[in-house]
Amino acid sequence: MADEWAIVSDEGVIEDGFYSREEAEARLRRMGEEGEGLEVDRRDKYDDEGNWIEDEDEDEELGAAPIACGECFEWAYYNLPRTGAVLVQASVQPFGGKYGDRRYPHAWIERSGRIYDWQSVAQGLGPGAKGWAKKKFYAVYAPQDVQRYDYDESRVEAVRHHHYGPWVD
């Protein structure tokens, strides 16, 4: 099954049985509007019921990294795709307070059950460019006061507040 591809959503596999990425991408294009918010991924990342399988290697690189406040907001803003993802802003407490009780403002992108943030993608910390499994990220960082913005909403908020975030009134 390593060479099999699927069309997936945040909920899991939508359609599978494709033997090349190109074949799956062609099918996704033919879906038109019905395919908005979906993407192509390797089928072996999902179980027989079509649910995403967490990567056990994600636990290995989760050491206490210094918090670099501010970079994540601009990064999330400029890297947010026009469709199929949301920009998220919240306060986080890394590792459930293991390294202190302070909460930090943070921003990231959520897409297809994965979390992409500046520290992971641009700095290579945590799971790196492959992003976090959403469940793992939420367990490690315990986000609170979560606000989600689609592409258009994020542009309006940036203009309204004159910065990339956090957008608090």
Q: Give 62's pLDDT tier (boundaries 50, 70, 90).
A: very low
E-assigned strand segments in 10-151: 12-18, 39-42, 86-92, 104-111, 114-116, 132-133, 144-149
Look at residue 13 in the predicted model and tell me its pLDDT: 77
* Least-confidence region, from 31-35, 74-78, 112-116, 155-159: 31-35
32, 15 contact by CB (below 8 A): no
User: Residue 127, preceding bond cis, omega within 30 degrees?
Assistant: no
Domain range spanning residue 34?
Answer: 5-53
148 and 83 in one domain? yes
Q: Give 63's pLDDT tier (boundaries 50, 70, 90).
A: very low
Residues 86, 33: Cα–Cα separation, whole Å: 18
> Could you tell me if residue 167 is inside a domain?
no
> Could you tell me if residue 26 is inside a domain?
yes
Q: Give 154's pLDDT tier (boundaries 50, 70, 90).
A: very high
90 and 157 in one domain? yes
